[in-house]
Homo-oligomer: A and B are copies of this chain.
Amino acid sequence: ESLKRQESTDPLDPYSGEPSRHPALQINSLKPFNAEPPASVLADSYITPSAIFFKRNHLPVPKVDPETYRLEIEGLPSGVVSVTLSELKSRFPKRTITATLQCAGNRRSEMNKVKQVKGLNWGIAAISNATWSGASLREVLLHYGFTPEVAINAKHIQFEGLDKDVTGAAYGASIPLNKALSEEGDVLLAYEMNGEDLPPDHGYPVRVVVPGVVGARNVKWLGRIVVSHEESKSHWQQNDYKGFSPGTDWDTVDFKSAPAIQELPIQSAITHPAEGSSVERGDEEVTIKGYAWSGGGREVVRVDVSVDGGNTWHVAKLYSSDLGQNPAPGRAWAWKLWEIDVPLPDGAQELEIVCKAVDNSYNTQPDTVGPIWNLRGVLSNAWHRVKVKVKDDQK
């Protein structure tokens, strides 16, 4: 490890040990590394290949030696527990789920067009879908002494990463206890992504996967779990990743007044065709593709698509995994891809393609960005709109 670090260009740079990345990624920030796949390929596969799965790092990628790695668990009657990687793998059954992760800032660039917000300028691809395998957090907590008596005082499960800032402060987040303890919560201490060891950018050797919950709580390079009466005190839990009214600005914002984002709202976007591209009038129809997902395990039940800006609507065909399994109620953790061929309206010069999804709570996306605009640019889930030219055929 020390050799590798010395090979990098600047040993004083905390980012000198970063892994190499896929060249197709569209980079929003190099240090920390934040990047999304090209929207055009996002919906090509139901399972996003790990190499192009969106990367959202808050701090340098820590190098963790699997032999000396320890996961500490605090707040249980048994005192501090220290678990090795091989104990995590051998003591608990390996559980596998397919779950979509989405950054709170996905589609932030659309909010920036309304009015400047603070944050990385994500397009529509700060969302990806993978299979995750690991130990059940519920089973781990019960094994190390969690009892109903603990639940009387404990309300939150805090997670701390091994990634640290220059002052030594670690990335941190928390989730409500009932999500972690529920048999139907499916929270994993994951050590595999898409059937292989977690890649360094996705939390090697262990990350928590909290399906249905915003990416920011799915702490990578997991070093510590704390069963606590309180939410994480981290910046990201307390003073970031919260939603506000469009009328709230940086002078008036009170971060205590809003709950930390956990479950995300219904979302969908168009991955094909691209903004500004064109279709031939002679083709008579346009093929439109995209993704749809909802937080909290709510299943996407319909995607409506319009090519006239939302005046008339068509119902897209939904695709999920090849296995075609129906998710258990409240446990639809993975996205659906969708596709539809819509006839070109007579004489249209331009199409305003729009999509909106509906989940099984029948929540739907708001029509426009302005009224959900917020100073941090999170939760951007208005109808996605793509403009496309209709080219007349050459005579």
* Interfacial residues of chain A within 264-283, with CB under 8 A of chain B in the complex: 264-266
User: Among B246, B263, B360, which residue has its beta carbon within 8 angstroms of that of A263?
Assistant: B360
| Known contacts A262-B360, A329-B176, A362-B379; is-contact A371 B310 (Cβ 8 Å) | yes
Which of A162-170, A312-320, A344-352 touches B? A312-320
B residues within 8 A CB of A172?
Answer: none
Please determine whether A362 and B313 come into contact, CB atoms closer than 8 angstroms: no
Interface magnitude class on chain A: 35 or more
Nearest Cβ on chain B to A361's Cβ, whole angstroms? 4
Main secondary structure of the interface of A (DSSP, over half): loop
- 1/0 per residue A343-368: CB within 8 Å of B? 00000000000001010111111111
- Within 8 Å of chain B (Cβ to Cβ): is A77? no
A363, B265: Cβ atoms under 8 Å? yes
Among B298, B315, B363, the residue within 8 A (CB) of A245 is B315
A372 within 8 A of B: yes
Chain A interface residues toward B at CB < 8 A: 176, 178-179, 182, 184, 243, 245-248, 258-259, 261-266, 295-296, 298, 301-302, 304, 310, 312-315, 328-330, 356, 358, 360-368, 370-372, 379
Q: List 10 A-B contacts (CB under 8 A).
A: A176-B329, A178-B328, A243-B358, A245-B313, A262-B360, A263-B361, A264-B361, A265-B362, A364-B372, A366-B367
